[in-house]
């Protein structure tokens, strides 16, 4: 059975039109989740006029499905890592860049959700900066991972990527009517704790969104997940509830994270949480291994567990369409 | 008899020369080893006499740090096979963690 046949079989079982619109916001949660669940096959879901439409990436339909804004997320490039799980993280980062450059529509910009480097070494930052020069995007926005702020409390990270940011590197910007918020939750971590935003950043966040219209779509990006994925492994943020409280009024909030090196999604009210794959190495599913360290997979399988995330927003009262693509095929 | 006495004395003198002087302040005792692996410190809790040197070795394939909760001691980032040592001169309980992966915690009880 060909790939496209398989996709149509999956789609045939569920309707693409809104059947349950409990929140009266034009989103059928079940339909949306269905779309995101098999998006790993390389499909592209777009909400248009309240209807979920899906297209195979690269097909004629996909290039027609122009959203108001499209951007791409990569994460956890860990430049400098060289253990068996992936002895050549530069090669897989290049594969991710090639994937981005092959998208039917050049993304407006790219988000890197942290762990740019593995050991915060200047040479590692330099290597990534060099490679990202070839990405066909307008601009790249960063947030740091815990591997980017080693030894110097993030001084080097901020020197390179912190222009216009405050505190440990938080900032916000608007693009095509969408408000983007970059948060830092890898600083001043406390013993036994999870990720942490801290009071200064939370106060800034409250002010930042206070006067925004509730119909403005919000995208938040930060390294460590802002929901409790698996606290035993540190996969969560201690004070994220307070941050999400400030965003409660908004009709559409998309949270993009990294850190866990696998895709995971959750919908909670008007908030859609999504984590990206790494471009360097995978990590085990929660609780499936003694620890969350780099997971070795057979060499031929590596690129199928690494990837990028493509995000598309269509004007309207909808959530953003989030699609994950692996580096294989 | 005299020979036996001589031999015993010789043995005792040799042992004393080789052994440590109990009243010495120098740390001639081998360091107590703590292994860092699989995102954990093991043993997680150790109890040592004052004057002990503890040595942490990172056997994990991810970098870690060793930081006392109030920063009484703080290692640089340890990549695989790198080590950090600290000599505990004052009695007390020292809780520490990995500042990169704060769920990793350990304790040194110094008596």
Instruction: State both tokens at A193.
Output: 């704790």
Q: Which residues of chain A have pLDDT under 50?
A: 1-65, 317
> Shortest Cα distance from B20 to chain A (angstroms)?
38
The tens digit of pLDDT for each residue in B45-79 reads 999 999 999 999 999 999 999 999 999 999 999 99
CATH of the domain at B46: 2.60.40.420
Query: Is residue B35 included in any domain, yes or no?
Result: yes
Instruction: Count the domains in chain B.
Output: 1
Give the domain extent around A285: 67-326
Query: Is residue A44 included in any domain, yes or no?
Result: no
**Separation of CA A37 from chain center:** 15
Query: Is residue A15 included in any domain, yes or no?
Result: no
The tens digit of pLDDT for each residue in B18-51 reads 554 444 455 567 899 999 999 999 999 999 999 9
CATH of the domain at A95: 3.60.21.10
The tens digit of pLDDT for each residue in A45-75 reads 444 433 444 444 434 344 444 557 899 999 9
- Tell me the whole-structure pTM to 2 decimals: 0.81
pLDDT score for B67:
98
> Shortest Cα distance from B55 to chain A (angstroms)?
20
> With contact defined as beta carbons under 8 Å apart, do B65 and B99 qualify?
yes
Residues 105-134 of A with CB under 8 A from B: 118-120
Query: Is residue A3 included in any domain, yes or no?
Result: no
Query: Is residue B61 included in any domain, yes or no?
Result: yes
Q: From edge to edge, which strands make up the β-sheet containing B32-37? A: B40-42, B32-37, B52-58, B83-88
| CA nearest to A115 within chain B | B100
pLDDT score for A68:
77
Query: Is residue B92 included in any domain, yes or no?
Result: yes
d(CA A259, CA A262): 8
Give the domain extent around B99: 29-110
d(CA A156, CA A141): 16
B109: helix, coil or strand? strand
Instruction: Count the domains in chain A.
Output: 1
Chain B residues within 8 A of A118 when measuring between CB atoms? 63
Asked if B76 lies within 8 A of A151 by C-beta distance, the reply is yes
> With contact defined as beta carbons under 8 Å apart, do B110 and B94 qualify?
yes
pLDDT score for B5:
72
Query: Is residue B98 included in any domain, yes or no?
Result: yes
pLDDT score for A9:
23
Query: Is residue B3 included in any domain, yes or no?
Result: no
Query: Is residue A154 included in any domain, yes or no?
Result: yes
pLDDT score for A27:
40
pLDDT score for A321:
86
d(CA A147, CA A117): 6
pLDDT score for A69:
87
> Shortest Cα distance from A118 to chain B (angstroms)?
8
pLDDT score for A280:
98
């Amino acid at each position: 059975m060909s790939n496209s046949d398989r996709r149509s079989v999956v789609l045939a079982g569920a309707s693409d039109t809104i059947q349950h619109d409990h929140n009266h916001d034009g989103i059928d949660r079940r339909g949306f989740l269905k779309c995101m669940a098999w998006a790993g096959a390389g499909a592209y879901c777009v909400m248009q006029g309240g209807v979920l439409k899906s297209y195979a990436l690269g097909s004629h339909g996909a290039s027609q499905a122009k959203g108001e804004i499209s951007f791409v997320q990569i994460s956890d490039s860990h430049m400098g890592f060289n253990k068996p799980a992936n002895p050549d993280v530069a090669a897989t980062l290049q594969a991710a860049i090639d994937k981005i450059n092959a998208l039917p529509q050049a993304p407006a910009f790219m988000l890197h959700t942290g762990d740019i480097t593995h050991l915060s070494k200047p040479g590692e930052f330099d290597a990534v900066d060099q490679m990202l020069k070839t990405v066909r995007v307008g601009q790249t926005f960063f947030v740091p991972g815990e591997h980017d702020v080693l030894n110097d409390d993030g001084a080097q990270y901020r020197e390179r990527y912190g222009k216009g940011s405050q505190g440990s590197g938080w900032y916000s910007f608007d693009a095509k009517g969408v408000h983007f918020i970059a948060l830092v939750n890898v600083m001043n971590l406390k013993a036994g704790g999870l990720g942490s935003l801290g009071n200064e950043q939370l106060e800034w966040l409250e002010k930042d969104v206070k006067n925004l219209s509730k119909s403005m779509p919000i995208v938040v990006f930060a390294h460590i997940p802002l929901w409790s994925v698996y606290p035993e492994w540190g996969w969560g943020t201690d004070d994220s509830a307070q941050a999400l409280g400030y965003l409660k009024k908004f009709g559409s909030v998309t949270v993009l994270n990294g850190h866990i090196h696998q895709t995971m999604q959750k919908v909670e009210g008007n908030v859609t949480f999504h984590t990206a794959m790494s471009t360097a190495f995978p990590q085990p599913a929660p609780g499936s291994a003694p620890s969350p360290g780099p997971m070795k997979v057979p060499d031929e399988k590596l690129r199928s567990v690494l990837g990028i995330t493509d995000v598309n927003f269509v004007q309207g009262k909808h959530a953003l369409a989030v699609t994950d693509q692996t580096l294989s095929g | 008899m005299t020979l036996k006495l001589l031999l015993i004395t010789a043995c005792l003198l040799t042992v004393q020369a080789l052994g440590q002087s109990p009243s010495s302040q120098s740390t001639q005792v081998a360091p107590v080893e703590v292994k860092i692996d699989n995102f954990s410190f093991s043993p997680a809790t150790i109890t040592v006499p004052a004057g002990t040197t503890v040595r942490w070795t990172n056997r994990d394939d991810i970098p870690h740090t060793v930081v006392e909760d109030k920063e009484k001691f703080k290692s640089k980032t340890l990549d695989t096979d790198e080590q950090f040592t600290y000599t505990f001169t004052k009695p007390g309980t020292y809780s520490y963690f990995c500042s990169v992966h704060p769920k990793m915690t350990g304790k040194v009880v110094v008596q």
